[in-house]
Chains A and B, each alone.
Chain A
Amino acid sequence: MSMLHTVNKSPFEKESMKSCLRLSAEGSSILLIEDGIYAAMVDTTISDSVKEALKSKKIYALKEDVNARGVQNKLMDGIEQIDYAGFVNLVTQHDKVQSWV
C-alpha cells in the first residue's frame, strides 16, 4: 500500500507543496485541500512542476475547497476532483497519511 499526502497551504505562501513533491515517492497519492488547491491551477509559476509530478503520482483536489475559492474552471487536466466521501475513501485505501501542514 502506498502513502497519502495532504497539502493544505497555498504553494505561493508556504513551501509545503514543494516539500511534498520532493519527498513523496513514485506511486503515492497527493490530496490538495483548503488553500492547497491553488496548486492545482493551470498557468501558474508552479504548474510545470505539478504537471511533472502527475507522471508518477496521483493528484486529487477536494471539490468543496475548489468551489469555495471559485477556481473550478482553472484546474489542470489529470487532477481528479473528489468530495468528502472520496477523501475518506482515499484514507482507507492508503496505509499511512502524511499531512504537510
Chain B
Amino acid sequence: MSTTKKFLYVNRRAPYGTIYAWESLEVVLIGAAFEQDVALAFVDDGVYQLVKGQDTAGIGMKNFSPTYSALGDYDINKIYVEKESLEARGLTLEDLHHLVWEDEDEDWAEKDSIKLVSSAELAEIMEQQEVVLSF
C-alpha cells in the first residue's frame, strides 16, 4: 500500500557555486515519480536558481535551469518564493522563469506555479508539511 505525504523541498543556495541546487532538483523529480505531494520553497540565495537567462557555456557546466519549466509536467505546481529574499537581492518576479502547470479539472487551463509569499506565510506553509528536505 502506498501512502502520499506532503513533501517540502527548501532551497537556500545559489546555482553552480555549489552542487546543492542541482541535487535538490534530482531529488524533487524522484519524489514526484513516487507520486508524493511535492512543494518547493526558494528562500535566501535559493531564489537565484529561478533567474531566467542563465547561460553556462562559458563555465563548462550544465545549465539545469530549463528543468524548472518542466516541473509542471510532473504535477509539481506549488512553488513558493519568499518575497523578502527576492527584494534583498534586487529581484522581482519578472526576473524569474515563468513557471506554469495545466489544470486537468479546468480543461487544462494554464496556471502559474510560482506563488510569491511573505516570510510569515512561508513559515505557516512549512508547519503544514509532513516531510521537509533542505538543500
Contacts and interface: CB of A to CB of B under 8 A. Distances in A.
Chain A interface size range:
20 to 34
Q: Interface of chain B, helix or strand or loop or mixed?
A: loop
A70 B18 CA distance: 16
A62 to B, nearest CB: 9
Interface string A60-74: 000111011111111
Given A44-B90, A69-B15, A10 B61 contact: no
Contact of B48 (A8, A38, A73): A38
A70 B65 contact: yes
A68 B45 contact: no
B89 A41 contact: yes
Chain B interface size range:
20 to 34
B4 to A, nearest CB: 34
Contact of A70 (B55, B57, B59): B55
B100 to A, nearest CB: 19
23 contacts: A10-B14, A10-B45, A12-B44, A12-B45, A12-B89, A13-B13, A13-B14, A35-B17, A41-B90, A43-B90, A44-B88, A45-B89, A47-B90, A65-B16, A67-B54, A67-B55, A67-B56, A68-B16, A68-B58, A68-B61, A70-B53, A70-B55, A74-B90
Interface of A: 8-10, 12-13, 34-35, 38, 41-45, 47, 63-65, 67-74, 83
Given A64-B58, A69-B16, 9 more contacts: A10-B17, A12-B44, A44-B90, A65-B16, A67-B58, A68-B16, A68-B63, A70-B53, A74-B91
